[in-house]
Amino acid sequence: MTQRLVLIGFRGAGKTTLGTELASRLGLEYCSTDKLIEHRIGTSIAEFVTEHGWTEFRRIEHGVIQNLPQTPVVIDCGGGVVESEANMQLLANNSVIVWIDTDVEDIVQRLSTADNAHRPLLSTNSGGDMRTDTLANYERRKPMYERWSQMRVNTSQQTLEHIIHTIAERLIHSDHNI
Ligand code: S3P
């Protein structure tokens, strides 16, 4: 395998679970931009965003993306990575980009659980409502995920095993050098 495998998609789509498992199956290193950011800021993303705001978060995220390995690894990206053309140009270099998609109502469900209660809302005009925030940002970002990905995988109502199998099959039967 000679290319990087980059996972993009909205929050709660399952990128982390999938990325970790894919990396292990493919015998590759797993990188999470969110984990690298948290390492750099020394606190949680939620706390950082509450204190410094999204613009500052995006600046740090860009720095992390600039320094990602160029060797074949699995890269699990934060859902907002597509907000920056510069980020995506960097990520598109020597990579296959896979859009991990999920029905938006499933995303709302997952983000409603206690585990996810800490996630800061993405927009200030959502009236503090997670569902409104999610629906609006999902629709806005959809064309961005579409534009940059070479492959789209829907994880709604699929087992992890099935999703991994689907991605692996598609990689084998595509021109991607992976
Ligand atoms: C974000 C998604 C998060 C994290 C940050 C911003 C977004 O990552 O990078 O809270 O803009 O959608 P996950 O997609 O891994 O939750």
Task: Look at residue 102 and tell me whether its pLDDT is greater than 70.
Answer: yes
Q: How far apart are alpha carbons 111 and 173 in whole angstroms?
A: 34
Nearest CA to ligand 1 atom 11: 80
Residue-number span of the structural domain to which 141 is assigned: 4-172
> Is 72 contained in some domain?
yes
Residue with tokens 């999470």: 32
Cα 52 to ligand 1 centroid, rounded to whole Å: 15
Give SS3 for 32: strand
> Is 80 contained in some domain?
yes
Cα 115 to ligand 1 centroid, rounded to whole Å: 14
Q: How far apart are alpha carbons 13 and 68 in whole angstroms?
A: 22
> Is 95 contained in some domain?
yes
Asked whether 133 lines ligand 1 (CB < 6 A), one says no
What pLDDT, on the 0 to 100 scale, is given for residue 127?
83
Q: How far apart are alpha carbons 23 and 171 in whole angstroms?
A: 14
| Count of the separate structural domains present in the chain | 1
What pLDDT, on the 0 to 100 scale, is given for residue 1?
67
> Is 38 contained in some domain?
yes
What proportion of the chain, given as a percentage, has pLDDT over 70? 97
Amino acid present at 150 = Q
Number of H helices, E strands in the chain: 8, 5
Q: Which residue has the higher pLDDT, 104 or 114?
A: 104
pLDDT class for 173, splitting at 50, 70, 90?
Answer: confident
Q: Which residue has the higher pLDDT, 118 or 18?
A: 18
> Is 55 contained in some domain?
yes
For residue 160, CA distances in Å to 37, 114, 133, 178 come to 26, 22, 27, 20
Question: Ligand 1, residues 7, 11, 138, 142: which to mutate, most atoms within 8 A of Cβ?
Answer: 11
| Strands 74-76, 4-8: pairing kind | parallel
Measured from the Cα of 119, ligand 1's closest atom is: 10
Mean model confidence pLDDT for the chain = 93
Q: How far apart are alpha carbons 82 and 145 in whole angstroms?
A: 7
> Is 53 contained in some domain?
yes
Residue 17: phi and psi, rounded to 5, are -60, -45
Which CATH number is 76's domain given? 3.40.50.300
> Is 156 contained in some domain?
yes
> Is 16 contained in some domain?
yes
